[in-house]
Amino acid sequence: MHKTVAQAVEFARELSGGFTARADRDVAIAPPFTALHALSSILKNSAIALCAQNVHWEEQGAFTGEVSAPMLLDTGCRFVLVGHSERRALFGESNDEVNRKARAALRAGLSPVLCVGETLDEREADQTLSVLRRQLKEGLNNISADDIRRSIVAYEPVWAIGTGKTATPEQAEEVHDFIRQFLERIYRKELAAEIRVIYGGSVNPDNAGSLMAQKDIDGVLVGGASLDAGSFRKIIDY
C-alpha cells in the first residue's frame, strides 16, 4: 500500500524511461488498484507488464470493496498476486481461497503468481516443507497442466519479508528444489521444469545476483527495494 496515482505515474515513467526489453527476463510492477489504469497507458508500449496485488474469485456481484479478474484484465494487467503472505497473515486468506482466486485469474486470461511460504515459528519447528506441501497441494487444486504453464509460483519465507533477514541463496535453492520436485509429482517432469518459481524475501540489489545464480530460482518477487526506481533497475539488471 504505497504511492498515490501521481507518485506511481512518476515511478513508472522513471522506470520505463530508456528501458529496453531483454529476451532472458520479464519485468512487471504491481501498483495499488487505484494506479492500474493510469499506469496502463504509460506502460502500453513498454516491455514492463502490469500485475495486480489481489483479486476476488467471482467475476461480479455483491462483494463491496473487491476487484474481479475481468476488471483487472480490463485495466491492462497480465499478472496478479494470489496468496501473498500479508493477505494470508493479516486477512486470514485460506489455501482454498487462494486456489479459487488463482482459478478465477486463469479463467479471465491472467497469470496468477501463487505465493507460498512459512513463518518463523514454522521454520524453527522444522515445518517448512510440510507447510509448503499443504499450501501447494491445496493452492494448485484443479489447476490443469495447460493452466500451470501460465502460472508462477513464488516462495516468500514470511520471516524474511520486511525484516532485513534474507534466506541464504543455498537455503532458498533448497526450498525451490523441493517446490520443483513437488510440481513434478503433480505434473510431468518436463512441464515442471518450465514453470517459473521465483523468490521473494528482502530481495535487494546486493543479493539479487547470488539468488539468481541458483539452479531452481527463476526470478525474484521484490518488496521494499522496488519502491525506488533506481534500486529496482539495479535488481532488473543484476
Residue from 84, 93, 118, 173 carrying the catalytic annotation: 84
Query: In the sheet that 219-220 helps form, which strands lie side by side, from edge to edge?
Result: 27-29, 48-52, 77-82, 111-116, 152-155, 196-199, 219-220
Let me know if 2 is a catalytic residue.
no
Residue from 56, 156, 173, 176 carrying the catalytic annotation: 156
Closest to 216 (Cα-Cα) out of 193, 190, 183:
193
Rounded CA separation 66/195 (Å) = 29
Give the three-state DSSP class for 110: coil
**Whose grid coordinates read 494470489?**
82
Let me know if 84 is a catalytic residue.
yes
> Which backbone phi and psi does 79 adopt, to 5 degrees?
-130, 160
**Whose grid coordinates read 476488471?**
71
Are 28 and 79 in contact, with CB atoms under 8 Å apart? yes
Give the catalytic positions in this structure. Answer: 84, 156
